[in-house]
Chain A
Amino acid sequence: MTAAIELRGVGRRFGSVTALEQVSLAVAPGEFFALLGPSGSGKTTCLRLIAGFDRPTQGSVLLDGEDVTATPPFERNVNTVFQDYALFPHMSVADNVAYGLKVRGVPATARRRSALEVLGLVQLEELADRRPGQLSGGQKQRVALARALINRPKVLLLDEPLGALDLRLREEMQTELKTLQHRLGITFVYVTHDQGEALSMADRIAVFREGRIEQLDAPRVLYVRPRTAFVARFVGSANVVEAHVAARLTGEARPFAIRPELIEVLVPAQPVRAGAITCEGRLEDVQYHGAASRWHVRIDAGPVLTAARPESEPAGQMPAAGDRVLLAWSPESAVPLVEGPPIP
């Protein structure tokens, strides 16, 4: 099957700054594909190259197997939901939505009908004659979505579409977007810096760092088997244990990551499961986070490790800050990491 989107060795320089370097990826038709990374990591540049707002200085962009590297945005069958929505303030909601049809020469009555139909998809028909300025953030977001859908694109590009919404609305829209994507069967490329959003929505995630893809995998793989320290820390939280510390703990000088929820906290006298890796340390403090508490322990080998335990643990007498504790985890919980470039 031809990939809906394919990037082949794509790079983008702005003067002496490299925004994107040697990025290659293929997105399957109907896939929900997330570009995840901190700001400035190149994910938005990548999206703009797919949309055609910008051109790569290197490599090529293919849509549906066709090379579109030099094709302007108005000749590409992809549409974008902008971070700031980019609704035209001098047009009504219906005119905004119908814009894509208007510039293709569709007659007024036909495009009004289509606009109302698409607005129905996002439950906003009754606001068709309002101006964007009269809408709430969530409503604007839906209008932007409807407008991008009216041309029935094969690919929908979403640039931090929920970034401006508050938490509750964001969670609501996440579900709605996912449902809509299933219903329409459109390929989604979703830019976000929110790892939770990417994990919960995407089929696959490309983690960007400094203009390169650090890891490209399904969410579960990304979480359970991060390849580098950067991914381990950026996707969820993780203790990254450096090589020389690892050598003292396990005898093998290879860095590894361990998720806080996989570390057990015990008092020194407590029995340990056979085969577990253990280390002793001094409890620095305990942060209460509701469902779980985070225990910060400075281990004797040097660094501070964080363990996340449910409120009820550990049973028995609660250690206090300054007490000696024992940390334990099973060897398969520790994920060996490749030495990526150092994390600043």
Chain B
Amino acid sequence: MRSDRDWNRPSTGARIAAFAGLAFLHLPVWVILLYAFTTEDRTYQFPPPGLTLHWFAVAFAREDIWAALRLSLAVATVATAMALVLGTLAAFALARSRFRGREAVTLLFVLPIALPGIITGIALLSAFKLGGIQPGFWTIVTGHATFCIVIVYNNVIARLRRLPQSWIEASMDLGADGAQTFRYVLLPQIATALLAGGMLAFALSFDEIIVTLFTAGHERTLPIWFFNELFRPRERPITNVVAVTVVLVTLVPILLAYRLTRPGTTEPNL
């Protein structure tokens, strides 16, 4: 294997280009980490004149941040729960079946991710306006659940397609009915896909801004709080601290999800 690739060694230039591309992707994330500790509170001066933990304490005492965080967590939890149920049902229905109109249904289940978020946002808003629905917690959840379903669906269906049909048949052959087959054979096999899909959905919802700005009304999720700060840069260091926190909160479930889905494929199920 190794020797197969030896004749095909990349040139030094190709190698440098690859690593430079990767470095480019990581540059801003590290910048944020650095700025969260800067002592300078008015400009983006680089290098920072000094480093401090002071801003973490300040951010910690801010009730508006806590309120936004609580709302974001609540929205992400509810949206993820809905997505887990609806996405899993859809994946089971579409994994192996063949029926007329299946293509159209499959398309519908990727459309919320395939079309730009702004379409989902303005479309939902149009519907809410037409239906006279007041924006609030549930309108945010509605928007998030719509694309979270796709995440869970993609993860679960990818796993289901890798399960041999003969496992289900073997289970039924040995006397297990549908419910027993689901509990003893299917559930253990899709558990990690469910967990991964759920965590990705949670992270995506927690971080969502494009759809949320259309559906939130006067509610402020953490990304909306953050977005407002970008235009009213009163307390930059606090924004920096929140940024670091958000990165950590979203990254942990994502890395876990990656680990859970890794055997077999290296592709993420977007």
A–B contact via C-beta, under 8 angstroms: yes
By a beta-carbon cutoff of 8 Å, the part of chain A in contact with chain B is 51-53, 72-74, 78-80, 82-84, 86-90, 99-100, 102-104, 147-148, 150-151
- Whether B175 sits at the interface, judged by CB under 8 Å, is yes
Contact of A73 among B164, B169, B188 (CB under 8 A): B169
B173 touches A90 (CB 8 A): no
A151 touches B175 (CB 8 A): yes
- Whether B172 sits at the interface, judged by CB under 8 Å, is yes
Query: Per-position contact with A for B149-184: 1 when CB-CB < 8 Å, else 0?
Result: 000000000000000101101111111110010001
By a beta-carbon cutoff of 8 Å, the part of chain B in contact with chain A is 164, 166-167, 169-177, 180, 184-185, 188-189
A86→B185 CA distance, assembly (Å): 11
A217→B174 CA distance, assembly (Å): 31
A84→B188 CA distance, assembly (Å): 20
A252→B173 CA distance, assembly (Å): 53
B174 touches A103 (CB 8 A): yes
Interchain residue pairs with CB less than 8 A apart (20): A51-B173, A53-B173, A72-B177, A73-B169, A73-B172, A73-B173, A74-B176, A80-B173, A86-B164, A88-B184, A88-B185, A89-B189, A99-B171, A99-B174, A100-B174, A103-B171, A104-B175, A147-B170, A148-B174, A151-B174
A103 touches B175 (CB 8 A): yes
Instruction: Say yes or no: A80-B169 contact (C-beta < 8 A), given A74-B176, A99-B176, A147-B174.
Output: yes
A148→B172 CA distance, assembly (Å): 12
B172 touches A72 (CB 8 A): yes
Q: Provide the residues of chain A in CB contact with B189, threshold 8 Å.
A: 89-90
Q: Provide the residues of chain A in CB contact with B169, threshold 8 Å.
A: 51, 53, 73, 80, 82, 86
Q: Provide the residues of chain A in CB contact with B170, threshold 8 Å.
A: 80, 82, 86-88, 147
Smallest CB–CB gap between A112 and chain B, Å? 16
Question: Which chain A residue has the least Cβ–Cβ distance from B183?
Answer: A103
Q: Provide the residues of chain B in CB contact with A82, threshold 8 Å.
A: 166, 169-170
Question: Which chain B residue has the least Cβ–Cβ distance from A54?
Answer: B169
Given contact pairs A72-B172, A86-B166, a sample of 4 additional A-B residue pairs in the complex whose CB atoms are under 8 Å apart: A79-B174, A80-B173, A84-B164, A90-B189
Smallest CB–CB gap between B173 and chain A, Å? 5
Smallest CB–CB gap between A113 and chain B, Å? 18
Contact of A79 among B167, B173, B184, B188 (CB under 8 A): B173
A100 touches B175 (CB 8 A): yes
